Amino acid sequence: MTTLIPILGDQLSHDLASLRDVARADAVVLMMEVAEEATYVRHHKRKIALILSAMRHFADELRVAGWTVDYVRLDDPANTGSFTGEVARAADRHRAQAIRIVEPGEWRVKTAIDGWSKQVGVPVDVLGDDRFVCGILEFQTWAQARSTLVMEFFYREMRRKTGLLMTADGAPEGGKWNLDAENRAPPKRGASYPEPMTFTPDPITSEVMELVAERFGGHFGRLDQFALPVTATQARLALGHFIDTALPDFGTYQDAMVTGEDWLYHSWLSPALNLGLLTPLEVASAAAEAYAAGDVPLNAAEGFIRQIIGWREYVRGYYWLEMPGVASVNGLDATRALPEFYWTGETDMLCVSEAVRNTRDNAYAHHIQRLMVLGNFAMLAGVRPQDVADWFLVVYADAYEWVELPNVIAMSQHADGGRLATKPYAAGGAYIDRMSDHCAKCRYRVKLKTGPDACPFNALYWDFLARHERRFRGNRRMANMYGNWDRMKPEQREAYRVSAAAFLDTLEPASPGWAR
């Protein structure tokens, strides 16, 4: 009896559940390069190249490990272009009597898989993805017992579950669960930043890059200067390099932004993590070990581990809890089209143009660029959350809907009515000025509140609060902001609103065809 084991492009882990407890002689692993995955949104060229190269490397590794791998290439003339079409063809080719697959990372793909047993005529066994620390049902049980989904409490459960940064008597290392208060320093003047580890494309990656240039040349982003890890071995080297060179300062400067510095002390490990080249536990454990060895301070190790076993696991749980509804929510009734400069980078706001440049050149931007610049601007300007979500899904090498959608719709756009975040991540120019060196170099003047030379974030911020006053005035966490608004003279309030309207009028909507 032949069991067909489809492995999707973000399931590149040798310890994948579907590869366990099955005799290699009775199984065929199916890997499929399909056009639909590259075009359901028009992914960044670098992201497509990363996934195809990592898939080809992984298939070779599986063969060396003794698996029979049926690998369908994108340029195979018989390729149907979709997972369902390729699974049906392969089931036929191998006379498969069973299909086993690990649950996918996207609702769209889950819906397709749910139809396979009927369409293909073979029973399908869908296994849980135990590469995550928290299972989908486990998160649902946790969520059901609560009225609000506070990440911090979920994170503590994950610390207890993994034992990471826990003392022998079950207390958090250092006495506190969360050291975020120590992790908000502005960038240090004249600091130098570690270079992330880069990997020169080998023949497999070079071949894929040519294919991507030919097939998807019109998609957003730069393809040259590809430097990402495409195998687990490379990803582990990158992890070790990050721990040695950047992790010690990761916590303190986690929220900083510096012109021309694309990674600062961030790890750039999300593309490899989300492909499955690294597991979250392996990455978080490496940080905990560096702390135990005295190589990194607690605020760095804790801050980093919280992102992995806290936020990353939490947004995945949230995605599967809230889908499919959360994909179409629009809690702030935002209707504006995404501005064209999200694709071209052509804006005088230096913080924005820098973040778009990083995005275009590297298929990357660090968290604060995503949240407090690109996401914040879109929310303040009232951009449709689904336009924003499409953009984020296209442009980042680490973007899969399970992690992208909650971060965009719920965290950055507050479009879910505050289920994930109790208060919107809204900020004016003063925040960006405090956390970056951008404003000093920007053509807009951050200290000016209104008028054509004022930083647009200033008027947009107050205009946002005014527009949503009914929704947010009663929010205790926003009382200070409305207190400030109330203390302003009516002329000042009016000037903010006029200035915001004048700026919003200048925004050119994105040309169609960039994302879909």
Q: Whose Cβ is closer to ligand DLZ: residue 70's or residue 437's?
A: 70
Opening angle at CA 499, ends 495 and 501, nearest 5:
120
Residue 109 contact partner, candidates ligand DLZ, ligand FAD, none, CB within 5 to 8 A by sort of partner: ligand DLZ
Q: Whose Cβ is closer to ligand FAD: residue 131's or residue 366's?
A: 366
Using CB under 6 A, which residues numbered 91 to 150 contact ligand FAD?
Answer: none
229 is written with which tokens? 């890890």
Using CB under 6 A, which residues numbered 42 to 61 contact ligand DLZ?
Answer: 43, 48, 51
Buried/exposed 145-174: b ≥16 CB within 10 Å, e otherwise = eeeebebeebbebbbeebebbeeeeeebbe
Backbone angles phi, psi at 102, to 5 degrees: -80, 140
Cβ neighbors of 49 (< 8 A, separation 6 or more) are 205, 208, 209, 212, 223, 226
Cβ neighbors of 393 (< 8 A, separation 6 or more) are 41, 43, 399, 401, 404, 405, 515
Shortest gap between Cβ of 238 and ligand FAD (angstroms)? 10
Q: Which residue has the tokens 């898989």?
A: 113
- Does residue 256 come out as left (phi exceeding 0), alpha (psi in the -120 to 50 range) or beta? beta
Taking the C-alpha atoms of residue 486 and residue 466, their distance in angstroms, rounded to an integer, is 10
Task: For residue 32, state whether it binds ligand DLZ (rule: CB under 6 A).
Answer: yes
Q: Whose Cβ is closer to ligand DLZ: residue 300's or residue 399's?
A: 399
Q: Confirm if 417 and 372 have CB atoms less than 8 A apart.
A: no
Choose one: 99-107, 174-182, 225-233, 321-329; the region binding ligand DLZ (CB under 6 A). 99-107
Taking the C-alpha atoms of residue 371 and residue 273, their distance in angstroms, rounded to an integer, is 20
Taking the C-alpha atoms of residue 192 and residue 153, their distance in angstroms, rounded to an integer, is 36
Residue 307 contact partner, candidates ligand FAD, ligand DLZ, none, CB within 5 to 8 A by sort of partner: ligand FAD
Task: Tell me, residue by residue from 395 to 414, as one string, x for binding to ligand DLZ by CB under 6 A and - for no binding.
Answer: -----x--------------
Total residues contacting ligand FAD by CB under 6 A comes to 28
Task: For residue 387, state whether it binds ligand DLZ (rule: CB under 6 A).
Answer: no
The single residue among 187, 251, 375, 456 that binds ligand FAD, judged by CB under 6 A, is 375
Q: Whose Cβ is closer to ligand DLZ: residue 73's or residue 156's?
A: 73
Q: Confirm if 38 and 48 have CB atoms less than 8 A apart.
A: yes
Minimal CA–CA distance to 63: which of 36, 29, 39?
A: 29
Residue 267 contact partner, candidates ligand DLZ, ligand FAD, none, CB within 5 to 8 A by sort of partner: ligand FAD
Residue 43 contact partner, candidates ligand DLZ, ligand FAD, none, CB within 5 to 8 A by sort of partner: ligand DLZ
Q: Whose Cβ is closer to ligand FAD: residue 3's or residue 303's?
A: 303
Shortest gap between Cβ of 266 and ligand FAD (angstroms)? 3
Minimal CA–CA distance to 436: which of 346, 335, 313, 353?
A: 353
Taking the C-alpha atoms of residue 173 and residue 308, their distance in angstroms, rounded to an integer, is 17
Task: For residue 404, state whether it binds ligand FAD (rule: CB under 6 A).
Answer: yes
Residue 38 contact partner, candidates ligand DLZ, ligand FAD, none, CB within 5 to 8 A by sort of partner: ligand DLZ
The single residue among 29, 56, 87, 104 that binds ligand DLZ, judged by CB under 6 A, is 104
The single residue among 177, 341, 396, 461 that binds ligand FAD, judged by CB under 6 A, is 396
Shortest gap between Cβ of 7 and ligand FAD (angstroms)? 20
Task: Tell me, residue by residue from 350 to 369, as one string, x for binding to ligand FAD by CB under 6 A and - for no binding.
Answer: ----------------xx--
Q: Is the dihedral of CA 328, 332, 334, 338 positive or negative?
A: negative
Q: Whose Cβ is closer to ligand FAD: residue 366's or residue 438's?
A: 366
Minimal CA–CA distance to 51: which of 215, 277, 224, 266?
A: 277
Report H helices in 396-427: 401-405
The single residue among 5, 12, 34, 247 that binds ligand DLZ, judged by CB under 6 A, is 34
SS (H, E, C) 455-466: CHHHHHHHHHHH
The single residue among 84, 234, 307, 376 that binds ligand FAD, judged by CB under 6 A, is 307
Taking the C-alpha atoms of residue 253 and residue 276, their distance in angstroms, rounded to an integer, is 27
Shortest gap between Cβ of 89 and ligand FAD (angstroms)? 31
Residue 331 contact partner, candidates ligand DLZ, ligand FAD, none, CB within 5 to 8 A by sort of partner: none
Using CB under 6 A, which residues numbered 233 to 292 contact ligand FAD?
Answer: 266-270, 273-274
Residue 8 contact partner, candidates ligand FAD, ligand DLZ, none, CB within 5 to 8 A by sort of partner: ligand DLZ
Task: For residue 4, state whether it binds ligand DLZ (rule: CB under 6 A).
Answer: no
The single residue among 3, 4, 5, 8 that binds ligand DLZ, judged by CB under 6 A, is 8
Q: Whose Cβ is closer to ligand FAD: residue 41's or residue 99's?
A: 41
Cβ neighbors of 57 (< 8 A, separation 6 or more) are 204, 230, 231
Taking the C-alpha atoms of residue 273 and residue 406, their distance in angstroms, rounded to an integer, is 17
Residue ranges in contact with ligand DLZ by CB under 6 A: 8-10, 32-34, 37-38, 43, 48, 51, 104-106, 109, 400
Binding residues for ligand FAD, rule: CB under 6 A, are 266-270, 273-274, 304, 307-308, 311-312, 315, 366-367, 370-371, 375, 392, 396, 398-399, 403-404, 407-408, 411-412
